[in-house]
Every structure is written in structure tokens, then in C-alpha cells.
Amino acid sequence: MAHTQRCAHRDKPLRVVQWATGNIGTRSLRAVLDHPRMVLAGVHVHAPGKAGRDAGDLCGTGPTGITTTHRLDDVLALRADCVLYMPRASDLDEVCALLASGANVVTTTGGFRHPAGMDRAVRSRVEDACERGGTSIHDTGSSPGFITEAVPLVLASVQRRLETLTIHEYADLSRRNSPGLLFDVMGFGRAPDAAAFDDRRLAHVRASFGPSLRLVADALGLPLDSVEAHGRFATAARTTDIAAGVLRAGTVAAQRMTVSGVRDGRTLLRFDATWYCTTDLDPAWDLRPTGWHLTVDGDAPLGIDMRFPVPLERMAAVSPGYTAHRAVNAVPAVCVAAPGIRTTVDLPPFTAMLG
């Protein structure tokens, strides 16, 4: 199989294709170009207007000699070791074609984090493509991914009894100059009733983070009975100027979404995301700076703070790296993994090769 042949030559540079060049994909592309053990084999773009250009034009580097394409067949013909697949949503036909062709896939799209919870027909189709190509696929990122899988598994490694593990994510958006994103998409600045967490939004949050919680619980031998999601708002206590515009008193100024993994009638694992545009809230909330805070209630209690020491004005430019770099660093481990859908639990802890 192609997979076996690549494993025998694992010291050779890995030929990698970057698929999609949005915020995450562009950062991933730069990381591949800078990686000491990777060579860029190709770049797939979705907009025909981006096709036919040098890859360096899309990520701000010098010329690379690699011309972008928007054709799947062009990518398949490259016979790459791995495709960093980063569109907004995955296309099952594309994914299976890549895997069956002999290209491993590392993706940030979601959908492959917890194979046991996947639709059976979809899982069977992906696993069949992996078997035919001798390839593997791994789904990762920063959140979900790094903070909802890799870090909790490490923290649980010092426990022999676990009551609850909670991941708190905080994002201060007060200096994010993106009025379309904050006001139009996320619902900040609206009346609470107009920005309600409807079933569709909660289902999306549950589908995004639930598989990570189930994966961790299964790995610990404590499978979940259910995954539940709910959200709530806090409003601005007074009118406040933020980078994106004016936040009126009484309108939505903070949002908190909670995904709970329930076992035996109580929450075992919880992901809690809090996004806020001001700290002056009604009702008052306990807020932390942008970053993550994890608490472990067990026989070895822990409290871990992971802050992003970046000026808020630069967060939009810096934050894509947290997702993109995790995916790029996973490529070598995925390329030598056994064929199939490979999760954070399946892969060994991988180390970033920086020089």
C-alpha cells in the first residue's frame, strides 16, 4: 500500500498540499513553507480567481514556484503524502477521494473526532477509502481539539478518581474591530429576545464540542450517557464604546454557551465558552482575560490558567495560529499512523519540529 511505502521512507521530507486559504489555511500554508521536514506540493483554492497564482501571493511570502488550483483532479495527481484540508465545511466526496488516492488528511473541519458517534454510513465510507488508499485522517484544531482533548487527557493522567473536569474558554472581544461579525453574526448589541439561543444554534454547539467530550470520556473508561447544551446572555449595564461600534445599555454584551457531558445523572465533563464585549455586565459575571481556565475536581485537584499574552488588538491576527499550527504539527504522526480515522487518543503525543 502507499501508506506502507511512505512509512519506509519517513526520513524524507513530507510532500504536503494546503487545501483552502482562509484565515486558518493561510496560516497553515506559511507553516508548511517554513517547516524543516515538509515541502509544499500544491495548494487548492475554492475561488476560481485565486487559481493559477503562486502560492506565496496568498500568504505574503516570496515566490514558491507552486501554482494554485481549484480542481480536485490536479490535487489527486500530485500524489502528496498529506493534505491539510481546511475548508469551512468538509465535502465527503472530496475527503474520500483524497484518502483513496493515497493522501493522508489532517483537517480542522470537524466531523471525524469521535468515530463511534459518526453516522454509520459515513464512517464506513471514510474507513473504506482509508483502507483502499492505505491512509489515515485526523481531525484537530485548538478549540475543539487541543484544549478539549489533548490537555484534558494529560490532566486526567494524574487522577484515579474524577468527579468533574471543566474547560472554561474566555474571549474578550471589546477591541475586535469586526462589526459584521459581532453585531450581525454573533448577535451582540441586540435585545436579548432577538439574540436568543435557538435549537439550531445549540445543536451546532453540541455537534462541535460534544464529540471531544465523548472521546475523552471513552478514553477514561467513563462513557457519557448524554451531551447537553444551553446558553445564556448578559446585557451591558451602560452604553459602552467598543472597537466595533457602540454597545447600547440593555443589549447583549456577553454570551455563555455550555456543553455538558452527563454520566449517571451528573456532569462529568463540561466545556464553557464565554465571549464578552465589556466587563460591565447585568447581571455581573465572573470573567477572566482571553484564554482558557481548566478545573479538575478529583483525587488530585487541579486549576490551570492558560492566557493568551497578546494585545487584544492583535488577537484576530494571532489566533489562527493556535488552530493551524496544531494541524501542521500533527502531519508526521498521521502519515505513519495505521489506516483509518485516527483521533487524539489513537495518535501518540506529537512534538513540534521547529528546527
**pLDDT band, residue 62 (cuts 50/70/90):** confident
CA distance 276 to 228: 22
* Cell of residue 59, nine digits: 500568504
CA distance 83 to 242: 39
CA distance 259 to 267: 10
What's the chain's average pLDDT? 94
The whole-number pLDDT of residue 355 equals 85
CA distance 217 to 124: 23
Beta strands 136-139; 104-107: pairing state: parallel
DSSP 274-295: EEES-S-EES------SEEEEE
CA distance 176 to 187: 14
Given a cut of 90, is residue 190 above it in pLDDT? yes
Q: Which domains, from first to last, does the chain contain?
A: 2-142+320-341 (3.40.50.720), 159-299 (no CATH)
Given a cut of 90, is residue 49 above it in pLDDT? no
The percent of residues above 70 in pLDDT, for the chain, comes to 97
Question: Are the CB atoms for 68 and 44 separated by under 8 Å?
Answer: yes
- 241 strand-pairing partners: 246
Nearest CA among 150, 226, 236 for reference residue 192: 236
**pLDDT band, residue 4 (cuts 50/70/90):** very low
CA distance 276 to 289: 10
Given a cut of 90, is residue 6 above it in pLDDT? no
Q: What is the dihedral of CA 56, 62, 63, 64, to 10 degrees?
A: -70
pLDDT per position as a tens digit, 235-280: 999 999 999 999 999 999 999 999 999 999 999 999 999 999 999 9
Nearest CA among 116, 144, 130 for reference residue 3: 130
Question: Are the CB atoms for 60 and 23 separated by under 8 Å?
Answer: no
CA distance 164 to 166: 6
Question: Are the CB atoms for 60 and 21 separated by under 8 Å?
Answer: no
Q: What is the mean pLDDT of residues 91-99?
A: 98
Give Cβ neighbours of residue 222 (< 8 Å, ≥ 6 apart).
Answer: 162, 263, 268
pLDDT per position as a tens digit, 143-176: 999 999 999 999 999 999 999 999 999 999 999 9
**pLDDT band, residue 10 (cuts 50/70/90):** low
CA distance 285 to 272: 13
pLDDT per position as a tens digit, 28-48: 999 999 999 999 999 999 988
Q: What are phi and psi of 95, to 5 degrees?
A: -60, -45
3-class SS of residue 57? helix
Q: What is the mean pLDDT of residues 84-108?
A: 97
Q: Count other Cβ atoms within 10 Å, centred on residue 192.
A: 14
Given a cut of 70, is residue 105 above it in pLDDT? yes
Q: What is the mean pLDDT of residues 327-342?
A: 98
